[in-house]
Amino acid sequence: MAHTALTPAQAHARLHELTVIDVRTPGEYASGHLPDAHNIPLDHLDAALPALKTAADRGDLLVVCASGARSAEACRRLAEAGITAATLTGGTTSWTQRGHDIHRPAGTRTPWPMERQVRLAAGSLVLTGLIAGRLRPGARWLSAGVAGGLVFSALTDTCGMARLLAKLPHNRPRARDLDATITALSG
């Protein structure tokens, strides 16, 4: 089942009638999200399915991420569970490029977006492999492995490194935050 997509302009015009679900990590969500968006990271989507079904029964769902890739995956998984949802074309990146407002929690330190975390990790691993390769030539395989992973990531539009980084503590939702979000969607 194909999911629908809304452009930033379409979503902005209908924002008052949509329930927005942001599937980015809590750190990315804290860096700025659509007004009134609920944060349910993609890897916690299954736990929230009953609440999302209830919310979808009340009105249309809009699923959002940074670029649209994770939200498309979330919409596919929701469709498999019988829940209709739309994705935001181009994600929050496209939303902000068009000048639409985003909300940031007051008093929070803005964590790095996942894409920036991936660049730091990949660059650090490649550099480590090259430097260590001067002493032990076999260490250069680390750099080759990261390069191969980046090529695979580009070809498949997936990112294994982002999946790993999403498991770090600063990228994980606090249980009480996720529970509060699920309760809000259920009510």
| Tokens coding 1 | 């089942």
List, for residues 57-94, the tens digit of each pLDDT value. 999 999 999 999 899 999 999 999 999 999 999 999 99
Query: Does the pLDDT at position 158 exceed 60?
Result: yes
- Cα separation, 63 vs 177, whole angstroms: 18
Query: Does the pLDDT at position 37 exceed 90?
Result: yes
Supply the pLDDT for residue 168. 81
Supply the pLDDT for residue 1. 42
Residue 92 burial by CB count (10 A; 0-12/13-18/19+): exposed, middle or buried? buried
Most confident of 30-39, 103-112, 171-180: 30-39
Most confident of 108-112, 148-152, 155-159, 183-187: 148-152
Query: Does the pLDDT at position 2 exceed 70?
Result: no
List, for residues 161-174, the tens digit of each pLDDT value. 888 887 887 776 66
Concatenate the DSSP letters of all residues of 36-73 into one string.
T-EE--GGGTGGGHHHHHHHHHHS-EEEE-SSSHHHHH
